[in-house]
């Protein structure tokens, strides 16, 4: 599985689609129960995992395509994923793979990013 380090994730967020699959309130910086700082990688977009799951299973392929196309994640586009610790990000990579979108995971995810005070943290919807 292709992976991203912090620098590659930052670059992808500016020149591709970097998906944060945490809950919306964590993405927006309204709540952070685990990590030292709230927010998200600047330029990332939010697709919470519950947006592409139904009863713990992936939505059908057409719905997955709609969910991810809304944020620019389509076949051939540069796409990466992260979450809090990397687990849900890997799950998101699988959902994308199911619809023909190849992506990379940032395994350090928000836990790594938020532990580096020199890395900016964005809040709000964008």
Say which CATH number the domain at 104 has. Answer: 3.40.250.10
- The answer to whether position 122 is within a domain reads no
Q: For residue 1, name the pLDDT band (cuts at 50, 70, 90).
A: confident
- The answer to whether position 121 is within a domain reads no
CA-to-CA distance for 37 and 2, rounded, in angstroms? 27
Q: What are the catalytic residues?
A: 83
- The answer to whether position 125 is within a domain reads no
How many domains, the chain?
A: 1
- The answer to whether position 101 is within a domain reads yes
- The answer to whether position 23 is within a domain reads yes
- The answer to whether position 124 is within a domain reads no
CA-to-CA distance for 12 and 32, rounded, in angstroms? 24
Average pLDDT of span 17-22: 98
Average pLDDT of span 77-100: 96
Share the mean pLDDT of the chain.
96
Q: What is the pLDDT of residues 20-48, one digit of tens each?
A: 999 999 999 999 999 999 999 999 999 99
- The answer to whether position 104 is within a domain reads yes
Domain enclosing residue 82, as ranges? 6-114
Average pLDDT of span 95-120: 97
């Amino acid at each position: 599985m292709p992976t991203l380090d912090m620098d590659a994730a930052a670059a992808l967020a500016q020149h591709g689609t970097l998906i944060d699959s945490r809950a919306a309130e964590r993405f927006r910086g309204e709540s952070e129960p685990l990590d030292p700082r709230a927010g998200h990688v600047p330029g990332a977009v939010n697709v919470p995992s519950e947006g592409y799951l139904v009863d713990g299973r992936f939505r059908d392929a057409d719905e997955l395509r709609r969910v991810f196309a809304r944020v620019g994640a389509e076949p051939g586009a540069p796409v990466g994923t992260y979450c809090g610790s990397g687990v849900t990000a890997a799950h998101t990579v699988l959902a994308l793979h199911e619809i023909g979108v190849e992506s990379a995971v940032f395994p350090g995810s928000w836990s790594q990013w938020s532990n580096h005070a020199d890395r900016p943290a964005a809040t709000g919807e964008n």
